[in-house]
Structure 1
Amino acid sequence: MTGALSSWKDGPAKQAILDFVASATRAGPGFVPVTDRIAAFDNDGTLWVEQPVPPQFDFQFRKWAEEVRDDPSLAGRQPYKAVAEEDAAFFERAATQDPQVVAPLLEAFARSWAGMTPEEFEAQVRAWIATAKQPKLGRPYVQLVYLPMLELFDHLKANDFRVFVCSGGGRDFMRVFAEETWGLHRENVIGTASAFSYRDGRIIRTGDVVGGLDLGPGKPEHIFAQTGRLPVFAGGNADVDVEMLESATFALLIDHDDPQREFAYTKGAVKSLAKAAELGWTVVSMKNDWTTVFADQDGPP
Structure 2
Amino acid sequence: MTGSDLPSWTDGPAERAVRAFVTTATTPGPGFVDVADRIAAFDNDGTLWSEQPVPPQFDFVFRKWGTEVAADPSLADIQPYKALVERDRSFFGRVLAQDPETIAALLAAFGRSWAGATPGDFDAEVRVWLETVKQPKFDVPYIDLVYRPMLELIEYLKAHDFRVFVCSGGGRDFMRTFAEETWGIYKENVIGTAADYRYVDGTIVRTESVLGGLDIGPGKPEHIFAQTGRLPVFAGGNADVDIEMLESAKFALIVRHDDDQREFGYTSGAEKAFARAAELGWTVVSIKDDWSTVFGVSPGSPFTG
**TM-score after normalising by structure 1:** 0.96
Q: Report what 1:225 is aligned to.
A: 226
Distance of 1:38 and 1:2 partners within structure 2: 24
Per-residue Cα deviation, 1:269-299 (whole angstroms, up to 9, x for no partner) = 0000000000000000000000000023243
Letter in 2 for 1:123: A
Letter in 2 for 1:53: V
Q: Secondary structure at the match of 2:41?
A: strand
Q: Report what 2:98 is aligned to.
A: 99
Distance of 2:251 and 2:181 partners within structure 1: 27
Per-residue Cα deviation, 1:51-98 (whole angstroms, up to 9, x for no partner) = 11110010000000000011000000111111112223334545xx33
Q: CA deviation at 1:99?
A: 2.4
Q: Report what 1:115 is aligned to.
A: 116
1:53·1:92 contact (CA, 8 Å) conserved in 2?
no
Q: Secondary structure at the match of 1:193?
A: strand
Q: Report what 1:257 is aligned to.
A: 258
Q: Secondary structure at the match of 1:216?
A: coil
Q: Work out the number of aligned pairs and report it.
A: 297
Q: How does 1:1-301 map to 2 (within 5 A)?
A: 3-93=4-94, 97-100=96-99, 101-295=102-296, 296=301, 297-299=303-305
Distance 1:263 1:39, change over 3 A: same
1:52·1:92 contact (CA, 8 Å) conserved in 2?
no
Q: Secondary structure at the match of 2:194?
A: strand
**Bigger mean CA offset, 54-63 vs 102-111:** 102-111
Per-residue Cα deviation, 1:209-237 (whole angstroms, up to 9, x for no partner) = 01111000000000000000000000000
**Bigger mean CA offset, 265-274 vs 105-114:** 105-114
**Bigger mean CA offset, 134-143 vs 163-172:** 134-143
Distance of 1:263 and 1:102 partners within structure 2: 26
Letter in 2 for 1:236: G
Q: CA deviation at 1:104?
A: 2.2
Distance of 2:65 and 2:216 partners within structure 1: 23
Distance 1:50 1:153, change over 3 A: same
Per-residue Cα deviation, 1:10-58 (whole angstroms, up to 9, x for no partner) = 0100000000001111111110000000000000000011111110010
1:4·1:151 contact (CA, 8 Å) conserved in 2?
yes
Distance of 2:76 and 2:266 partners within structure 1: 31
Distance of 2:165 and 2:108 partners within structure 1: 24
Distance of 2:240 and 2:215 partners within structure 1: 13
Q: CA deviation at 1:103?
A: 4.1
1:41·1:236 contact (CA, 8 Å) conserved in 2?
yes
Distance of 2:3 and 2:121 partners within structure 1: 42
Q: Which runs of 4+ in 1 moved over 4 A?
A: 91-94
**Bigger mean CA offset, 134-143 vs 226-235:** 134-143
5+ unaligned residues in a row in structure 2: which ranges?
none
Q: Secondary structure at the match of 2:136?
A: coil
Letter in 1 for 2:179: A
Distance 1:99 1:74, change over 3 A: same
1:53·1:91 contact (CA, 8 Å) conserved in 2?
no
Distance of 1:220 and 1:46 partners within structure 2: 17
Per-residue Cα deviation, 1:89-144 (whole angstroms, up to 9, x for no partner) = 334545xx332344422331121000011101111011110111111111101110
5+ unaligned residues in a row in structure 1: which ranges?
none
Per-residue Cα deviation, 1:177-230 (whole angstroms, up to 9, x for no partner) = 000111100000000100000010000100000111100000000000000000
Distance of 2:112 and 2:255 partners within structure 1: 33
Distance of 1:237 and 1:138 partners within structure 2: 24
